[in-house]
Chain A
């Protein structure tokens, strides 16, 4: 596996945004999108024919964006419209159909490289991610036209990623972990308490430049072992199966040694 195009997403402006959804169902409000639990979803309301919905996000101050990630959605196929529109005009959210209308910036996610219509065989939780040239705005709106009725969304990340200059990961090892407990009776009958599987990734990263070293430091300082982040381990070739949501499991000594070599372990979050 080449480990080309590693993208690390860890800055999410959503967590402090003021949210205004077009609709919501019961306790599944848009505020759930701020929760790091990806299964705690926002559910739209409107019935079978009302799949169209929007979510306005106001960040208060100008933010820098170059990536969007949607995860744990319930769309079974690509929605007819799936846009994020950035703007500085807080009260004018008409649906724009062309890119870069005055004062606004639209990102079309229908063609996102990692669109996964359902949980794939690798256990990915419906991740859509899209990167674009960095831009700065105060507001954003998710704009969706879907025809299959109410839908769920578990995570929406609007923020920044960084892509290491030198892409090679050494000692990359991905392990599928099954914590299920198996017992056997004296008569040979085997029983299992099935526990959902998750993946763990170990890799060695070498920062070859000082700039790259600083990027890693900033990222690690921000997330530590307590915050979830997205990592695409091979965005170009295996975007769907190798984009993971999770946490680092142990802190790595940030020693400024000659080779700047660091060993990471990363575990998928549920």
Chain B
């Protein structure tokens, strides 16, 4: 007994026994075999642990306790008694003591009419361990010496974008033949894999989840079972929009639209941004009437309809038919009456307000749009999202977007461009939940940040690299995308001082979903602020001190040299992690972090009533508060160190 019972102690002590756990939630097809019909539309069957034969001839038991059943892909409710299963449709109860499964299907008929898949968790460790989590659970010591994969996450761009999360192979020891039978008997592909780290005398609640993803491949040999695991973000490579125009659904539609995607539109589209719409009924009862469909979801308003008969006449505004049933906001359709309309030649575009929520109106904010894409278009549920990150970003984000999804693209590529428009990051947390983080350079509580001393905590020499790849003197931001001309407007900001100092003339072209010029100008100025000077990047390795960190976390770095006073270095300087890689034999965490360039410290709160004066400010106040400056850029004219010590964001 070491007395180490908290994760914080485990990661900060110099000598600790680390234990890694893998929890695999596997499936088993339950529909086959005989079921006994009971009263109340409940069916039962014997469902017991599996006894398997090892290579040595010994038999061992595989524990199975059903946690979830999916019926034709839909999760059904777990209950704790037969009576509750009778009363709830659909539901199930696994009586482990009696090795009996009770199942009430969604229509009360036999489970063999459905594909019923039961889910249970197998637990493995790098060492044998009994931990209490809803009952004592034994972690079988089948993870091989180097069996925990290196986990890494990094950002292709250090200021925005989708995180690349990679995971390798979880390797389990099969020298005893433990996996010979169960590798075939159970369903492994696309099933959940969760990796945790702990050790010493930690209770289960103190073990930290490092990664939650899915198994996508398995390789089985006489010696090992290798499970290839990856992030659940791969699910988001699915194409959106989901639905298409078919004549089977819209018999009289424009024949040229057959098979086209039914678009999805977020934001507010004016006359210039208005998209072309599809005629879904060219043969209405009333002469010269035609019905058009804008998109695949309800819209909150239609503000203008325009027809173009030829390049000579150009766009002409037409009144929307206001008769009963003409405008259908729920189905996003409207009727236009135009005698000169020729199907296949005349174009129609519409200004409107796109997808909306009853609570907050038209969905225009970047985090709100990403959330809607995940929940409505990608089939995710609220529990799949890291709600704290979305809630925080809804406050931090200040851009209004128009996101037209007209042709099939992957959901990830749309989210990537939204991140680009908002200076935001999209990734997964350790529990596999999707995170959206609008970037903020503010450091609100520097005193509370973890402090790393490179000499003491880094297992090798830290490296400091000036990143000149992300050095641009001019920023061009494209905005106000026109969904009918497929072109955008453009704004630019530059800093000639940067160009002369570094003699680099690269210009960043930044394509966005931003709707208006004001937001585009703000983004261009922010990009100019962070990209006009090289960004110092710190690379180094620690033991487990940083194992629970994720991208975007800030740390304070002290990198002293001796004699410190003349040799320079950093003391408690704030860095932000943008790349992290964790390996476990030996336990080591490699980070890459960018210097916030004191930007966080310089961002001002001039309008805050609590902002102190420079003279009265303590060191924390000076780090987090902005201060009025004189015309020469000094906060305190008597102190040259205060030059340009205050920054707009």
Chain A residues packing against B (C-beta within 8 Å):
15-16, 25-29, 31-32, 34-37, 39-40, 43, 181, 183-187, 189-196, 226-227, 270
Contact = CB atoms under 8 A, between A and B. Distances in A.
A27 B56 contact: no
Interface string B440-458: 0000000000000111111
Range for the number of chain B residues in contact with chain A:
35 or more
B360 interface: no
Contact of B14 (A36, A39, A191): A191
B58 to A, nearest CB: 4
A194 B458 contact: no
Contact of B59 (A29, A34, A39): A34
B59 A40 contact: no
B56 A226 contact: yes
A234 to B, nearest CB: 27
B16 A185 contact: no
A208 B339 CA distance: 114
Interface of B: 14-18, 51, 54-61, 63, 65, 127-128, 130, 135-138, 140-141, 175-176, 453-461, 543, 585-588
A96 B328 CA distance: 88
Contacts of A186: 454-455, 458, 460-461
A27 B65 CA distance: 10
Nearest to B586: A181
9 contacts: A27-B135, A28-B138, A31-B60, A34-B60, A185-B456, A186-B454, A189-B14, A192-B15, A194-B17
A35 B141 contact: no
Given A29-B61, A194-B15, A194-B17, A39 B456 contact: no
A16 B16 CA distance: 40
B587 A187 contact: no
A239 B63 CA distance: 36
A27 B585 CA distance: 30
Contacts of B56: 15, 36, 226-227
A25 B136 contact: yes
Contacts of A194: 15-18
A31 B176 contact: no
Contacts of B54: 36
B380 to A, nearest CB: 33
B460 A270 contact: no
Contacts of B65: 27
Given A185-B457, A185-B459, A35 B14 contact: no
B543 A31 contact: no
A31 B58 CA distance: 11
Given A15-B56, A187-B453, 10 more contacts: A32-B138, A34-B61, A36-B58, A183-B586, A185-B459, A186-B460, A187-B455, A192-B16, A196-B127, A227-B56
A270 B456 contact: no
Contacts of B455: 185-187, 189
